[in-house]
Amino acid sequence: MSEVSASVTVVIPCLNEAETIAECVRRACAAVVRFGDGAEVLVVDNASDDGSAQLARDAGARVISEPRRGYGSAYLAGFAAAEGEYLVMIDADLTYDFSEIPRFIAALDEGSDFVIGNRLAGVQPGAMGVLSRIGNPILSGLLNLLYRTPVGDAHCGLRAIRRDVLPTLALNSTGMEFASEMVIRAAKAGLRFRELPIELHVRGGRSKLSPFRDGWRHLRLMLVYSPGFLFILPGALMVAIGILIELTVFAHVTVFGRGWYIHTAIVGSALWIVGLQVFGLGLCGRAYGVYVLGSTDPMFDRMRKHFRLEHGLLLGTLLAFTGVGVGAVIVGQWISRGFGTLAEEQLAVLAVTLVVGGIQVFFTSFLLSMLGLRRVR
């Protein structure tokens, strides 16, 4: 392939890569020279203090500065400064084969929106540490499970993307989790993916990666972007277990050879109350994504069609007043017995649970409605 239908920018983030940056620039220039004047190599100097920026200029790259350190910060600055319509992302440590760049550009030219490499079957001896070999497949699998992304190596640093889809992604992560955010948002936006097998070579220079810290940042972002998995599923499970425990106590069902009494009822009540709160937080998280961030969420959209503010207020009021009614019965019986010992402890727990749960549902419904006022159009 000697021509493409768009201009090309190879973006290389650089933080103290004096040992390798000049060679990276030379290889990048050699890879894109066939695309003529419509190609450039752009190095984003991420506050290096070892002369990397000047070495990159001398090797033929256009160099910009991004003083705020971070993998994501560097790429955000590079995307903003890039002149090409096709953007290729590649690290400055010689771990990737620059001769692969034309193949990634060709995939964009064939209609893909986002092209990502898969290193896992081509890791050269010593190129990836044990923790990364274990962690990368696990994190990629979790990301695929949560977001149905069609990639096997979600954290590969060799990628290509059409510049015109970047506004749709609205990327903003500043650290290594930028790699996960890009895949997640691309999947949510319905971009056309393409994954290409590549090799991973032993890096030159000193590694900046921290497997535990960077792995946690990826995991944290995945969870934050998935309120259904983080909040709604655990919340619903807690409510279900809490209700099951309460029913078991009131029905005097024998479990493991013994009955469950007031202390078990308190546990069920706590699970029910906490579960409702966590479930409500998940709904608010989904509402924030749809109304404020402009995300697409078919499940939340279906819920909005059938349940409105008034439904939530009615449910909350019904729960709370049911609890008040149960409490009134208990108080009446207590008075009729001359204010003696309260015998309906389990009913009292149920009454408090219903009142607190009803209040939570009532005010969570209002919060969801308030988030809807800031709807992105």
Say if CB 272 and CB 242 are below 8 A apart: yes
User: Same structural domain for residues 203 and 347?
Assistant: no
Beta-strand relationship, 39-45 and 62-65 = parallel
Give me the number of domains the chain comprises. Answer: 2
User: Same structural domain for residues 155 and 245?
Assistant: no
Final residue in a domain of this structure, among 209, 224, 239 = 224
Closest alpha carbon to 107 in 163, 35, 33, 161: 161
Say if CB 154 and CB 179 are below 8 A apart: yes
User: Same structural domain for residues 53 and 121?
Assistant: yes
User: Same structural domain for residues 242 and 172?
Assistant: no
Say if CB 179 and CB 157 are below 8 A apart: yes
- Could you tell me which residues come within 8 angstroms of residue 22 by beta carbon, excluding any fewer than 6 positions away? 55, 56, 58, 59
Match 């290409």 to its residue by tokens. 196
Return the CATH number at 185: 3.90.550.10
User: Same structural domain for residues 213 and 255?
Assistant: no
Range of the domain at 245: 227-372
User: Same structural domain for residues 300 and 200?
Assistant: no
Give the Cα separation of 287 and 280 in Å (integer). Answer: 10
- Which pLDDT does position 1 carry in this prediction? 46
User: For residue 2, is it within any domain?
Assistant: no
At 290, list the tokens: 């749809």
Give the Cα separation of 234 and 221 in Å (integer). Answer: 18
Final residue in a domain of this structure, among 202, 224, 246 = 224
User: For residue 320, is it within any domain?
Assistant: yes
Give the Cα separation of 47 and 49 in Å (integer). Answer: 6
- Which pLDDT does position 37 carry in this prediction? 83
- Which pLDDT does position 256 carry in this prediction? 65
User: Same structural domain for residues 324 and 220?
Assistant: no
Cα-Cα-Cα-Cα torsion 23, 24, 29, 32, nearest 10 degrees, comes to 140
User: For residue 377, is it within any domain?
Assistant: no
Query: How many CB atoms within 10 Å of residue 295?
Result: 17
Query: pTM (2 decimals)?
Result: 0.77
User: For residue 295, is it within any domain?
Assistant: yes
User: Same structural domain for residues 201 and 245?
Assistant: no
User: Same structural domain for residues 59 and 134?
Assistant: yes
- Which pLDDT does position 149 carry in this prediction? 87
User: Same structural domain for residues 190 and 233?
Assistant: no
Burial of 160 (0-12, 13-18, 19+ CB in 10 A): buried
Tally of residues, the chain? 377
Q: What is the pLDDT along the chain (377 residues), one digit of tens a residue?
A: 456 777 999 999 999 999 999 999 999 999 999 888 889 999 999 999 999 999 999 999 999 999 999 999 999 999 999 999 999 999 999 999 999 999 999 999 999 999 999 998 888 998 888 888 888 889 999 998 888 888 999 999 999 999 999 999 989 899 999 999 999 999 988 999 999 999 999 988 777 777 788 888 888 888 888 888 888 999 999 999 998 888 888 777 776 666 667 778 888 889 989 999 999 998 888 887 777 666 677 778 888 888 888 898 999 999 999 989 988 888 887 777 666 555 567 778 888 888 999 989 998 888 888 777 655 44
At 12, list the tokens: 């290389």
User: Same structural domain for residues 220 and 233?
Assistant: no
User: Same structural domain for residues 110 and 215?
Assistant: yes
3-state secondary structure the chain: CCCCCCCEEEEEEECCCCCCHHHHHHHHHHHHHHHHHHEEEEEEECCCCCCHHHHHHHHCCEEEECCCCCHHHHHHHHHHHCCCCEEEECCCCCCCCHHHHHHHHHHHHCCCCEEEEECCCCECCCCCCHHHHHHHHHHHHHHHHHHCCCCCCCCCCCEEEEHHHHHHHCCCCCCCCHHHHHHHHHHHCCCCEEEEECCECCCCCCCCCCHHHHHHHHHHHHHHCCHHHHHHHHHHHHHHHHHHHHHHHHCCCEECCEECCHHHHHHHHHHHHHHHHHHHHHHHHHHHHHHCCCCCCHHHHHHHHHCCHHHHHHHHHHHHHHHHHHHHHHHHHHHHCCCCCCCCHHHHHHHHHHHHHHHHHHHHHHHHHHHHCCCCC
Angstrom CA distances, 248 to 238, 241, 274, stand at 15, 10, 19
Final residue in a domain of this structure, among 205, 224, 243 = 224
Residues paired with residue 162 on neighbouring β-strands, in sequence order: 86
Say if CB 218 and CB 211 are below 8 A apart: no
User: For residue 352, is it within any domain?
Assistant: yes
User: For residue 290, is it within any domain?
Assistant: yes
Beta-strand relationship, 86-89 and 39-45 = unpaired
